Amino acid sequence: MNRLLKPTSTLPLLEAKGLTKTFTQGGRSLEILKGVDLKVYKGDAMCIMGSSGAGKSTLLQILGTLDRPTSGSLFFDGKSLLDRSDDELSSFRNKSMGFVFQFHHLMNEFTALENIMMPCQIAGFSQKESENLAKKLLTFLGLSQRMGHYPHEMSGGEQQRVATARALVMSPALLLADEPTGNLDSVNGLKIQELFFELKEKLGLTLIVVSHDRDFARRFPKIVQLKDGQWI
């Protein structure tokens, strides 16, 4: 996690320029993003808000290199991302980005520990090294008792904490979260919010969160609103 403690620079960690995304549906063109620009610096915590269908999730997935924009450019640490191959982007995601979604999306056939180990194993870490990292993180998140449990044996809050641990195990520079509390009750939702800010403080994490929750959004120093694919 040393990478996160490097001094911040004036160069944005993530920069998007003129992002557009158009889908064709039934022969009709549907413009979801209409030239979105964005600059996120190291240590930033940004909340993207907007009504349903505003393009928040599409933007987050493009920022996370899970989808490519129709046009525009994307830079990470000043280096262009969109001219990289799919395999190169996969490796980049593995090392530099963590994702948390509304639904935990844990792999049901694997235990909490194995789920967290997955990114490390994809990166080629040894079994022991992966296990050590995952155990450390599970203990940090207070889930050491749940290591051998499968997702269906855990509560919604625990599942989301395991998903967060999985997103953080590779010490990414950037954590992207799409409605991370959207599927949780208010108590567990609050716990996840606390966890996010605790992680940001302790690990110096850069956060981009998409949320409908105004109370959650108010805690972010930077809030941006998206409407019909554009900032307002």
Interface with other proteins includes 87 (CB under 8 A)?
yes
User: Measured from the CB atom, is 183 or 230 closer to other proteins?
Assistant: 183
Instruction: Tell me if 30 sits within 8 A of 23, measured CB to CB.
Output: yes
Pick the binder of other proteins from 8, 9, 51, 90 (CB under 8 A): 90
* Separation CA 226–CA 232 (nearest Å): 6
Interface with other proteins includes 84 (CB under 8 A)?
no
- Beta carbon of residue 10, minimum distance to other proteins (angstroms, whole number): 28
Pick the binder of other proteins from 32, 63, 99, 162 (CB under 8 A): 99
Interface with other proteins includes 64 (CB under 8 A)?
yes
Question: Is the C-alpha dihedral spanning 85, 175, 56, 155 positive or negative?
Answer: positive
Instruction: Tell me if 120 sits within 8 A of 129, measured CB to CB.
Output: yes
User: Measured from the CB atom, is 94 or 230 closer to other proteins?
Assistant: 94
Pick the binder of other proteins from 50, 55, 119, 229 (CB under 8 A): 119
Interface with other proteins includes 183 (CB under 8 A)?
yes
- Beta carbon of residue 58, minimum distance to other proteins (angstroms, whole number): 8
Pick the binder of other proteins from 107, 148, 198, 214 (CB under 8 A): 107
* Separation CA 70–CA 94 (nearest Å): 24
Total of chain residues touching other proteins, rule CB under 8 A: 33
Closest CA to 110 of 99, 96, 102, 122: 122
Pick the binder of other proteins from 79, 80, 103, 201 (CB under 8 A): 103
Question: Is the C-alpha dihedral spanning 86, 89, 14, 191 positive or negative?
Answer: positive
Full DSSP string of 99-129: EE-SS----TTS-HHHHHHHHHHHTT--HHH
Closest CA to 153 of 117, 104, 111, 192: 111
Binding site for other proteins (CB under 8 A): 57-58, 61, 64, 66-67, 86-87, 90-95, 99, 101, 103-110, 118-119, 121-123, 166, 170, 178, 183
